[in-house]
Amino acid sequence: MYCFTEVLYHGKNHLISCNSAEKIMFSQHNPLFSVDGSLSSRSQEFLCIFLCACTSIICCSSDCHCVTFFLNLHQHSFYYFFYCLQENRQFGSKMTDSKYFTTTKKGEIFELKAELNSDKKEKKKEAVKKVIASMTVGKDVSALFPDVVNCMQTDNLELKKLVYLYLMNYAKSQPDMAIMAVNTFVKDCEDPNPLIRALAVRTMGCIRVDKITEYLCEPLRKCLKDEDPYVRKTAAVCVAKLHDINAQLVEDQGFLDTLKDLISDSNPMVVANAVAALSEIAESHPNSNLMDLNPQTMNKLLTALNECTEWGQIFILDCLANYTPRDDRESQSICERVTPRLSHANSAVVLSAVKVLMKFMEMLPKDLDYYGTLLKKLAPPLVTLLSAEPELQYVALRNINLIVQRRPEILKHEMKVFYVKYNDPIYVKLEKLDIMIRLASQANIAQVLAELKEYATEVDVDFVRKAVRAIGRCAIKVEQSAERCVSTLLDLIQTKVNYVVQEAIVVIKDIFRKYPNKYESVIATLCENLDSLDEPEARAAMIWIVGEYAERIDNADELLESFLEGFHDESTQVQLQLLTAIVKLFLKKPTETQELVQQVLSLATQDSDNPDLRDRGYIYWRLLSTDPVAAKEVVLAEKPLISEETDLIEPTLLEELICHIGTLASVYHKPPSAFVEGNHGVQHKGLPGSAGSAESESPDAVSAGAATEAPAAVIPSQGDLLGDLLNLDLTPPATTGPLPHSGGMQMGAMDLLGGGLDSLLGGDLGGSPAMGAGFGAPPAAMPPAFSAPVSGSLYDLFDLDNGVGMPLGSFCPPKTVWLPAMKAKGLEISGTFVRHAGVIQMEMTITNKAMSVMTGFAIQFNRNSFGLAPAGPIQVPSPLSPNQNIEVSLPLNTVGPVMKMEPLNNLQVAFKNNIDVFYFSCQYPISVLFAEDGKMERQVFLATWKDIPNENESQFQIKDCHLNSDAASNKLQSINIFTIAERTVDGQDMLYQSMKLTNGIWALAELKVQAGNPNYTVSLKCRAPEVSQCVFQSYEAVLKN
Partner 1 sequence: MMTMISQLFILSSKGDHLIYKDFRGEAGNDVINVFYEKVTALPGDQPPVVMSHRDLHFVHVRQGGLYWVATTTSAGSSPFTIIDFLNRLAALVTDYCGSLSEKSVQMNFALIYELLDEVVDYGYIQTTSSDVLKNFIQTEAVSSRPFSLFDLSNVGLFGAETQQSKVAPSSAATRPIQSSRDQGVFVDVIERLSVIIGSNGAVMKADVEGEIKVKCYMLNCSEMRIGLNEEFSIGRSTLRGYGAAVHVDECRFHQAVKLDEFDDHRILKLCPSQGEQTVMQYQLSDNLPSPPPFRLFPTIERDNRGRLLIYMKLRCDLPPKSAAINVSVSVPVPKGCVSLSQELSSPEQRCELKPQSRSLVWTVPRCSGGTQLSAVFKLDVPGLSSASMLEVGPVGLTFELPKLTSTGLQIRFLRLTPVQPGPSQRWVRYVTHSDSYIIRV
* Nearest CB to partner 1, comparing residues 122 and 796: 122
Among 345, 707, 788, 851, binds partner 1 (CB under 8 A): 345
Q: Kindly state whether residue 237 participates in binding partner 1, applying the rule CB under 8 A.
A: yes
Name the helix (H) or strand (E) containing 68.
strand 67-71
Question: Alpha helices of 385-415 — where are they, by DSSP H?
Answer: 390-406
**What minimum distance in Å lies between the beta carbon of 209 and partner 1?**
11
Q: Kindly state whether residue 426 participates in binding partner 1, applying the rule CB under 8 A.
A: yes
| Distance between first and last Cα of the chain | 122
Taking every pair of Cα atoms in the chain, the longest distance, rounded to a whole number of angstroms, is 138
From CA 339, how far away is CA 353, in angstroms rounded? Answer: 7
Our CA angle for 579, 585, 587, nearest 5°, is 105
* Nearest CB to partner 1, comparing residues 499 and 798: 499
Which string of b and e fits 142-166 if b means at least 16 CB within 10 Å? bebbebbbebbebeeeebbebbbbb
**What minimum distance in Å lies between the beta carbon of 386 and partner 1?**
9
Q: Kindly state whether residue 380 participates in binding partner 1, applying the rule CB under 8 A.
A: yes
Q: Of 925, 711, 911, whose CA–CA distance to 825 is shortest? A: 911
Q: Kindly state whether residue 396 participates in binding partner 1, applying the rule CB under 8 A.
A: yes
**What minimum distance in Å lies between the beta carbon of 655 and partner 1?**
15
Among 344, 412, 632, 983, binds partner 1 (CB under 8 A): 344
* Residue numbers 831-870 binding partner 1 by CB under 8 A: none
Looking at residue 991, what DSSP letter applies? E
Among 29, 367, 422, 837, binds partner 1 (CB under 8 A): 422
Helix or strand or coil: residue 83? Answer: strand
**What minimum distance in Å lies between the beta carbon of 427 and partner 1?**
4
Helix or strand or coil: residue 890? Answer: strand
Determine phi and psi for 411, rounding to 5 degrees: -110, 15
Candidates 234-242, 687-695, 702-710, 1028-1036; binding stretch for partner 1 (CB under 8 A): 234-242
Q: Kindly state whether residue 351 participates in binding partner 1, applying the rule CB under 8 A.
A: yes
* Residue numbers 214-233 binding partner 1 by CB under 8 A: 233
Q: Kindly state whether residue 487 participates in binding partner 1, applying the rule CB under 8 A.
A: no
Q: Of 681, 683, 685, whose CA–CA distance to 656 is shortest? A: 685
Strand partners, 827: 848
Helix or strand or coil: residue 990? Answer: strand
* Nearest CB to partner 1, comparing residues 488 and 965: 488
* Residue numbers 282-341 binding partner 1 by CB under 8 A: 283, 309-311, 314-315, 318-319, 321-322
Among 5, 333, 346, 810, binds partner 1 (CB under 8 A): 346
Q: 1032, 786 in Cβ contact below 8 A?
A: yes
**What minimum distance in Å lies between the beta carbon of 389 and partner 1?**
7
Q: Kindly state whether residue 132 participates in binding partner 1, applying the rule CB under 8 A.
A: yes
From CA 807, how far away is CA 11, in angstroms rounded? Answer: 112
Candidates 414-422, 552-560, 630-638, 952-960; binding stretch for partner 1 (CB under 8 A): 414-422
* Residue numbers 659-718 binding partner 1 by CB under 8 A: 660, 662-665, 667-668, 672, 675-677, 680, 682
* Residue numbers 11-50 binding partner 1 by CB under 8 A: none
**What minimum distance in Å lies between the beta carbon of 258 and partner 1?**
17
* Residue numbers 243-262 binding partner 1 by CB under 8 A: 244
* Residue numbers 179-208 binding partner 1 by CB under 8 A: 195, 202, 205-206, 208
Among 17, 142, 154, 169, binds partner 1 (CB under 8 A): 169
Among 67, 112, 152, 162, binds partner 1 (CB under 8 A): 162
Q: 545, 512 in Cβ contact below 8 A?
A: yes
* Nearest CB to partner 1, comparing residues 461 and 985: 461
**What minimum distance in Å lies between the beta carbon of 263 and partner 1?**
15
C-alpha separations of 1024 from 619, 776, 993 in Å: 25, 9, 17
Q: 954, 1020 in Cβ contact below 8 A?
A: yes
**What minimum distance in Å lies between the beta carbon of 107 and partner 1?**
22
| Residues contacting 833, CB < 8 A, separation 6+ | 813, 840, 841, 842, 843, 892, 924, 925, 928
DSSP string covering 841-883: EEEEEEEE-SSS-B---EEEE--BTT--EESS-----SPBPTT
**What minimum distance in Å lies between the beta carbon of 648 and partner 1?**
21
Q: Kindly state whether residue 658 participates in binding partner 1, applying the rule CB under 8 A.
A: no
From CA 784, how far away is CA 290, in angstroms rounded? Answer: 75
C-alpha separations of 719 from 553, 630, 981 in Å: 21, 17, 31
Among 21, 71, 240, 553, binds partner 1 (CB under 8 A): 240
Among 348, 806, 886, 943, binds partner 1 (CB under 8 A): 348
From CA 347, how far away is CA 343, in angstroms rounded? Answer: 9
Candidates 109-117, 132-140, 734-742, 918-926; binding stretch for partner 1 (CB under 8 A): 132-140
Helix or strand or coil: residue 984? Answer: strand
Determine phi and psi for 276, rounding to 5 degrees: -60, -45
Candidates 344-352, 766-774, 912-920, 996-1004; binding stretch for partner 1 (CB under 8 A): 344-352
Q: 43, 35 in Cβ contact below 8 A?
A: no
Count of residues that bind partner 1 according to CB under 8 A: 97
* Nearest CB to partner 1, comparing residues 1 and 133: 133
Among 19, 387, 881, 964, binds partner 1 (CB under 8 A): 387
Q: Of 939, 902, 901, 953, whose CA–CA distance to 782 is shortest? A: 953
Q: Kindly state whether residue 273 participates in binding partner 1, applying the rule CB under 8 A.
A: yes
Among 197, 241, 337, 406, binds partner 1 (CB under 8 A): 241
Among 190, 391, 799, 966, binds partner 1 (CB under 8 A): 391
Q: Of 797, 775, 810, 811, whose CA–CA distance to 999 is shortest? A: 775
Among 17, 150, 156, 532, binds partner 1 (CB under 8 A): 156
Q: Kindly state whether residue 419 participates in binding partner 1, applying the rule CB under 8 A.
A: yes
From CA 977, how far away is CA 931, in angstroms rounded? Answer: 9
From CA 566, how far away is CA 575, in angstroms rounded? Answer: 10
**What minimum distance in Å lies between the beta carbon of 659 and partner 1?**
9
**What minimum distance in Å lies between the beta carbon of 48 and partner 1?**
42
**What minimum distance in Å lies between the beta carbon of 190 and partner 1?**
19
* Nearest CB to partner 1, comparing residues 310 and 592: 310
* Residue numbers 494-533 binding partner 1 by CB under 8 A: 494-497
* Nearest CB to partner 1, comparing residues 568 and 684: 684
* Nearest CB to partner 1, comparing residues 380 and 766: 380
Q: 608, 621 in Cβ contact below 8 A?
A: no
Taking each helix axis from N to C end, the angle separating 390-406 and 426-439, rounded to the nearest 10 degrees, works out to 20
Among 43, 68, 234, 906, binds partner 1 (CB under 8 A): 234
Order the strands of the 827-836 sheet from edge to edge: 816-819, 827-836, 839-848, 885-893, 869-870
From CA 517, how far away is CA 549, in angstroms rounded? Answer: 9
* Nearest CB to partner 1, comparing residues 233 and 835: 233
* Nearest CB to partner 1, comparing residues 280 and 989: 280
Q: Kindly state whether residue 157 participates in binding partner 1, applying the rule CB under 8 A.
A: yes
Q: 721, 757 in Cβ contact below 8 A?
A: no
From CA 299, how far away is CA 263, in angstroms rounded? Answer: 11
* Residue numbers 445-474 binding partner 1 by CB under 8 A: 450, 454, 457-459, 462
Among 186, 375, 417, 985, binds partner 1 (CB under 8 A): 417
